[in-house]
Structure 1
Amino acid sequence: MASRPGTSQAGTSIQVTTNFYRLQRSPVNNVTVYAISFTPEVESGNRSLISAIISKGSSEIKKQIGEFIKAGNVIFSKIAKADYFSTRVVLKNNAEYIVLITPVTTITGENVNSYRMYANSVLKKMLTALDLKQVTIMPKFYDPRETEKIQHLKLEIWRGYTATFSHHLQDMLLNIDFSSKIIRDTTALECIEEIRANSRNQNLENNLNNEMKGMIVMAKYGNFKCYKIEQVLINENPTNSFLGREGPITYLNYYKKQYNLEIKNPRQPLLVPYDKNGPSKIKLIPEFCVLTGLTDEMRKDFRAMNEIAEFTRLAPNKRLQESNKLATNLVNNPKCREISNEFCMQINSSPIQVNAIRLPQESVRVGPNQSDMINIDSRGGFNLRSSILSPVAIENWLVLTTDRDASNRDRLIKTLVNKGGQLGIRFGQAVQMNYQPRSLKDIIRTLNQSQGGRPIPQIALIVLSPNDKRGYDEIKEACALTSGIPTQCLKANNLNNPKKFDSIMSKLVVQMAAKTGSAAWQVAPTQGLPQKTMVIGIDVFHDTVHRAKSVLGFVASIHPAFTSYFNTTRIHNRVGEEIGGHVGDCFREALNAFFEATKKKFLPEVVIVYRDGVGDSQIEAARNYEVQAMKRILVDYQGYNPQIVYVLVNKKTNAKFYVQGQKGIDNPPSGTVINSVVIPENQSFYLISHVVTQGMASPSLYRIIHNDGNIDLMIVAKLAFKLCFMYYNWTGGIKVPAPTMMAHKLAYIVGQSVHATHVEALKTLPWFY
């Protein structure tokens, strides 16, 4: 049997404080769930109409079941009725509805979904009582009164919280974390006018939609909700009418009547927000919407980003204070206390503390000798100062620049040759070539053809203009689909960056080495795992802006030391499809590549998959489809039955952990594993594998959903920690295991630039770095 969490003696024990809070009194066995339906029928997605009907009929409903909370299409109440009841509601426009309210279940500890929905509905009522606004569909609540203005950047930082109940082992726990949202002092109308001015009589509608589709805007009225722009309608404006609750009404009159807002520009176009359920019925007025997030120029401004970080990346002690502040308000605020008493939801304002395990710090082996080891420093990284593990000479390589950057080419080549020599990588003489942007794609396409007696290059280094996305896309597409020769792109402005030039060149030479078959370093084997182990990384890229087809990225190790990998992709037919229907086919290809790489001597005894990008609602689908797809492939390998461990990795979690350090509350050290109390189920753990210099080190959540080898959970955690140091793009620990990050990068570059599965020649090289 696999051991329970915490039973493996894998490291030292440390105490951590969490941002989870217990319930002192909960509603178990005390709340009835009622389904609501309507005659005439109301679409389940028409939330505004449902809310209006329930609000109008609330007094009659309370006569039957007392105080209640509505959540979606159900109602929660402490009063249980044995049979259904109905009430008649007439709205202002004389529309008449019969509301049928039917008892369906009682909330119990076993009925986790209803329990969680109820707890979060009560929590939302309490947060609303604190005047916090939920501006998105995410459980994030902001206080419009607590904002920070950065005048010279024309930004406003909204401060608030992520707050939600979820089930953890045997308990329903409340998670509270600090959250911030960046609001720009620029309206959507100002953005439209700027694009109009730059369009120069070209197709304005296309330009507006190309620029603004996918932008997030906040409506500066009502509940300050945020919307993603789906379309700009230049042929409609606020003088148009729509069907309101009381009949047809113009946008001009609606905003005046509903919000007392005067639309100053009656000829401005309308915005259509994205709606996952289909065509949106809502249309927004650009004048009343402000843009959110940062511009590309701000992201490139180091000083601006540091200034913004002062408000968005809180130090651990301040972040914990913010979580505790909200927990205390939920307990002590009179309005919240009244709600908690009414609905049996009393929260403990003290954060939960748990014992965690700190894994031994890693070291990496470089150079040809077993003794060539480098220890990871206190910042979670290391420096390469001698030969890499297994260098491959780069005898033939090509350097491409425009005429403008040709003067820097000699210095670039000389620096790379010197850096390579220090790492044991011998560079041959580079072939130098000038290119015109319009001819670059054709040059890359023909790299695999001998030109004028020159040998075919192992890699091409291209110096690109900093913002030339089209050029980058063309390079990667031609490389991936036609030539099969790895390419390395370098932004031209990095050639004239005296402060960062040296470090950029150091990273560049390692990337080029990896792309031509070198192994840069390796970590020590994981005790408890056989040498014949394969690790797999899987991720899916979704283009939510342009609605392109989703891409499955699949990366699998083909060397026992996890220094080289097979990679492939699959294009999904359905937009947004998450579950990888092609996992089985990719697994077959990976096994064949592993067999070839080991000179047809053996196949892996253990296969451990680290799969990113699966939401809670898709866990069962991943177990039933992806795992079983891999199992079916093994039928073709008669007598071969490796142990498969399938682990879901989630790097976007609201869990935060704190330790008491020499200077007060601090981040836990790299290698901290939390595997009790606050984990979602037995076979799961949080791992902090990286070090940050500012703000919080966010953990990644690992959930083992299949383990037919009964591999100990702590072995899976130790391997994950080691693999976080095996990403050759970074000399240090990253947030997820290297194969998972590689799968992410692979899916992203194919989804953004290539849009098809790459040629065979690249499937054992990390061309996507």
Structure 2
Amino acid sequence: MAFRGGGRGARLLELLNSQRDERPAEEPEPPPAALPTRPVGRGGRGMLILQSLDANRAQPQPPSVEALSGQSGLRQPYENLLESRLAKLAVGPGGDACTSASHEKVKETRLKNGDSCSDDGDNARVESRHGTCGRLVRATCNYINLNINPGMGVFEYEVRFEPRIDFLKFRRALLFQHEDKIGRAKTFDGVVLYLPHKLPDTILASKHPTDGSDVNVKIIFKRYSKMKDTIHLYNVLFKRIMSALEMTRIGRHFYLSKCCSQIPAHKLEVWPGYVTAVDEYEGGVKLCIDNSHRVLRTMTILDTMNRIVQDNPGNYKQKVTNEVMGHTVLTRYNNKTYRIDEIDWNMTPRSKFSGKDNEQVSFLDYYNHQYGIKIRDEKQPLLVSRVKRLQGEQEVETAICLIPELSFMTGLTDEQRADFRLMKSVAVYTRIAPEQRHRSLLNFVKSVNETPKAKALLADWGLSLSPETMELNARELDVEDIIVGGGSLRNTKADFGMDICKREVIHAIHLENWVLLHVQNQTDTANEFVRLSKRFGPTMGIQVHEPRRIGLQNDRIDTYVSALKKEGSDAQVVVIIFPTSRDDRYGAVKKVACCDLGVPTQVINSKTLRNESKVRSVVQKILLQITCKLGGSLWTVKIPLNNVMICGTDVYHDPIKKGRSVGAFISSLNKECTRWYCQTNFMDAGQELVNQFVVCMANALKKFYEINGQFPVKIIIYRDGIGDGQLKVSQQLEIPQFQACFDRVSSGYKPQLTVLIVQKRINTRIFSIEKNELTNPKPGTIVDNAVTRRNWEDFFLVSQSVREGTVTPTHYIILHDSSEMKIDHIQRLTYKLCFMYYNWPGGIRVPAPCQYAHKLAYLTGQHTRSPHSNKLSNKLFFL
């Protein structure tokens, strides 16, 4: 693959995201390695937005320069896409957009009854999707009503150029020469022009911006759409508004560079910003806005490389690759982010690439001549980022070379995340309390409404923002009783960690034949662990006998592996005390134990056992964890469903090595949901919709029958890892496969199936209103109106207790339901399952089967990279 220093080609994948109303500046076309970019905004109106945040003012930023980015010499053949793009512009009677009859029927029913339904084809059902259980509470959220002036709409036009013009920049320049005729408010993606008013079909005469030749621009009306039917235009519009507020775009989001907060002790800085999204919800068209933060390192990649070379002069290349590859870097000269896929040790800034007119230009000369940047280290290797772009109708991969000296790592490493002091320093700026967050959101709205350019952008399309966030009708479910040995517990804070260690577990597994591995200089720590285990275990109903102690000569990986193979094959469980935390050693031990021997293991960092103030709590939790790994049960909740199998699924994608993805499937084996059956499967990298889950479902049903003597009547699946764009695909592919699987397992077997999509990475925030103050909602708070989807049956649930910052609810979408369960029952069951995760004595963000699937997929994909032994399939060995 040829390496290029960047490019000027227009990216069809970003057409709608990168349009601007201003006419392109008349300037010489840069060489193939350069892509003109906007400079970083400075000060101004955008400063008003985050007045409520206690962020330190950053030092003045150096002037930004244009970037080395993109691919060289591409001409986008827009006509190749014209047929497919115009196929979507169907014109209905009177110029209105055609709408499917089924969708109109759903909409009519919803408006009539105040109800909603899922567009589920033949399986669509229309019923009330609003629950009634629980106590009504006042709440607000981070949604702003987007008001649409009556009669406003969007007119869509096809734009043709004669002679044919391929380059987007020239297309826009030719069209925008007639701004007096088409108006200021417009969006043009190279093929389709969107206007808030109607134009007659016309042919405009333009001059080519380079040679002055005549070009005819033909504008052909295609259809009229209501504003609410063109949601994508809103999101394009708000990107322009962010620029009008002088915010800096990094990746997909916008940040206030002038408000960044420096953390010199850790060589970090935090940029505050916003995430915005406009969509149509049950309560109408709304803007969802949330605070966002970008953690940047002030050290360049070259600084990181030099540090590694000094520490590891003999094996520095591998260390540098492990440190850098797969991570995201920021090039400050254009504020763009790139994912590092490779380090080319054979290329340096002295290397040359093909510039304009195929002229060979070195990176040194290019940066110095084009941007005034003088690269100091001429021998540094180059970073390689492979970017996929659309060329015509095909996706091509282009390698972009980056200079380490000009690149900064974003985010935090695992080592940095383990640094308590560092994370505490970062949390000062990123963990925002509900009252402070809400005030920041209102300041954003105020900035938009008081900035003339931003306000005009909305007004030109007949839009305006409400000054306040919208209020919600939320419900608070009753506190869950936790059933333990000899009684039950109730904790209004959804956290019963203080009580669980004082009560017996409901099904204990005694430690009778277990092995303890440790290096010889950790003997005192190992002895203390055994002593405390014998002391605290009986209180929880766990009898701890003396282990077989194995003292190791050193902490090498092969030493641990050899001792594990020799002593652990016939053990109940192997407890291993590591002197330090190392991923490679952890992965090697887990692979041997989980895949080869089929023996549960418990790995302990000796540092956690040396903290005298916390050692009691640590030992108690370790004993509980070991009990789970041996097949025991700690606690349960009352689940009033009989003969039901509850499943959880998740997929792990390796973000760095891009290896095979791992899907995990967890299914319950008893009514109390205390016993689980675990399966994994491997698939191509990046695959999310997993056909192999059908095989897992068949195995899970056979295992359920083996344990219970009958198949389940109801099957409930919590499917994690599905985004909005994959909902329909999952509904149309996965669910029919599950249904076809049932009959293959047993002829005529047709259980009731309910599938819920679990979404954790959302921007929705809910604030409870108590005595005119905003606080985090209590665990059990449910919102299923106003901000829920129009065409899906969904709800938001807060199931965890958060002491700092603002809680993030979890979004549940009922993708399919043939069980005819009431929405109240689905919501309550979901809340109950959030207490059944045995690695945390309290409520967590997602139902336990989802979290179990996540942990299993992560362990398999990150460490063992092989299927686990069948001996462990009915145990929670991965906790």
* Alignment partner, residue 446 of structure 2: 328
Conserved in 2, the CA contact under 8 Å of 1:21 and 1:348? yes
From the superposition, tell whether residues 92 and 400 of structure 1 become closer, same or farther in structure 2 (CA, over 3 Å): farther
Conserved in 2, the CA contact under 8 Å of 1:2 and 1:711? no
Question: Do structure 1's residue 5 and structure 2's residue 129 form an aligned pair?
Answer: yes
From the superposition, tell whether residues 95 and 657 of structure 1 become closer, same or farther in structure 2 (CA, over 3 Å): farther
* Alignment partner, residue 130 of structure 1: 245
* Alignment partner, residue 186 of structure 1: 299
Alignment of 1:585-734 (within 5 A): 585-598=695-708, 600=709, 602-636=710-744, 637-661=746-770, 664-681=773-790, 682-734=792-844
How far apart in 2 are the matches of 1:411 and 1:546? 40
Conserved in 2, the CA contact under 8 Å of 1:19 and 1:176? yes
Question: Do structure 1's residue 524 and structure 2's residue 641 form an aligned pair?
Answer: no
Question: Do structure 1's residue 211 and structure 2's residue 323 form an aligned pair?
Answer: yes
From the superposition, tell whether residues 493 and 354 of structure 1 become closer, same or farther in structure 2 (CA, over 3 Å): same
CA apart distance, 1:37: 7.8
Percent identity, please: 26
How far apart in 1 are the matches of 2:533 and 2:213? 75
Alignment of 1:60-75 (within 5 A): 60=177, 62=179, 65-67=182-184, 68-70=186-188, 74-75=192-193
* Alignment partner, residue 482 of structure 1: 596
Q: What amino acid is the match of 2:282?
A: L
How far apart in 1 are the matches of 2:820 and 2:228? 27
Q: What amino acid is the match of 1:465?
A: P
Which segments of 5 or more consecutive residues in structure 1 lack a partner in the other structure?
Answer: 44-48, 450-455
Instruction: Please give the secondary structure, in 2, of the residue aligned with 1:22.
Output: strand
* Correspondent of 1:23 among 146, 151, 170: 146
* Alignment partner, residue 430 of structure 1: 547
* Alignment partner, residue 511 of structure 2: 394
Query: How many matched pairs?
Result: 740
* Alignment partner, residue 493 of structure 1: 607
Question: Do structure 1's residue 158 and structure 2's residue 232 form an aligned pair?
Answer: no
CA apart distance, 1:403: 1.6
CA apart distance, 1:513: 0.3
Conserved in 1, the CA contact under 8 Å of 2:609 and 2:618? no
* Alignment partner, residue 280 of structure 1: 398
478-487 vs 53-62, which deviates more?
A: 53-62
* Alignment partner, residue 195 of structure 1: 308
Q: What amino acid is the match of 2:235?
A: N
How far apart in 2 are the matches of 1:425 and 1:542? 37
How far apart in 1 are the matches of 2:175 and 2:651? 45
* Alignment partner, residue 853 of structure 2: 743
Q: Deviations over 1:571-602 (max 9, x none)?
A: 00x2100001111110111111111222x2x2
Question: Do structure 1's residue 440 and structure 2's residue 550 form an aligned pair?
Answer: no
Conserved in 2, the CA contact under 8 Å of 1:684 and 1:702? yes
* Correspondent of 1:252 among 364, 367, 373: 364
Q: What amino acid is the match of 1:578?
A: E
From the superposition, tell whether residues 767 and 650 of structure 1 become closer, same or farther in structure 2 (CA, over 3 Å): same
CA apart distance, 1:626: 1.6
From the superposition, tell whether residues 562 and 158 of structure 1 become closer, same or farther in structure 2 (CA, over 3 Å): same
711-720 vs 435-444, which deviates more?
A: 435-444
Instruction: Please give the secondary structure, in 2, of the residue aligned with 1:19.
Output: strand
Q: What amino acid is the match of 2:233?
A: Y
Conserved in 1, the CA contact under 8 Å of 2:386 and 2:400? no
Conserved in 2, the CA contact under 8 Å of 1:164 and 1:175? yes
How far apart in 2 are the matches of 1:170 and 1:39? 46
Q: Deviations over 1:354-393 (max 9, x none)?
A: 10111101120000x4xx0011243633421111111122
Conserved in 2, the CA contact under 8 Å of 1:398 and 1:433? yes
How far apart in 2 are the matches of 1:509 and 1:731? 13
State the TM-score, normalizing by the size of structure 1.
0.91
State the TM-score, normalizing by the size of structure 2.
0.80
Conserved in 1, the CA contact under 8 Å of 2:515 and 2:568? no
Conserved in 2, the CA contact under 8 Å of 1:217 and 1:290? yes
Instruction: Please give the secondary structure, in 1, of the residue aligned with 2:256.
Output: strand
How far apart in 2 are the matches of 1:362 and 1:616? 31
* Alignment partner, residue 381 of structure 1: 496
Cα root mean square deviation, aligned: 2.7
Instruction: Please give the secondary structure, in 2, of the residue aligned with 1:280.
Output: strand
* Correspondent of 2:455 among 316, 323, 337: 337
Instruction: Please give the secondary structure, in 2, of the residue aligned with 1:531.
Output: coil
How far apart in 2 are the matches of 1:339 and 1:303? 44
CA apart distance, 1:15: 1.4
Conserved in 2, the CA contact under 8 Å of 1:27 and 1:107? no
CA apart distance, 1:24: 1.2
How far apart in 2 are the matches of 1:101 and 1:405? 79
* Correspondent of 1:262 among 343, 368, 374: 374
CA apart distance, 1:33: 3.4
From the superposition, tell whether residues 212 and 381 of structure 1 become closer, same or farther in structure 2 (CA, over 3 Å): same
* Alignment partner, residue 318 of structure 1: 436
Question: Do structure 1's residue 507 and structure 2's residue 637 form an aligned pair?
Answer: no
Instruction: Please give the secondary structure, in 1, of the residue aligned with 2:259.
Output: strand
Conserved in 1, the CA contact under 8 Å of 2:171 and 2:190? no
Conserved in 2, the CA contact under 8 Å of 1:18 and 1:352? yes
Conserved in 1, the CA contact under 8 Å of 2:526 and 2:577? no
How far apart in 2 are the matches of 1:25 and 1:245? 47
* Alignment partner, residue 549 of structure 1: 660
How far apart in 2 are the matches of 1:163 and 1:10? 32
How far apart in 2 are the matches of 1:324 and 1:460? 55
Q: What amino acid is the match of 2:525?
A: N
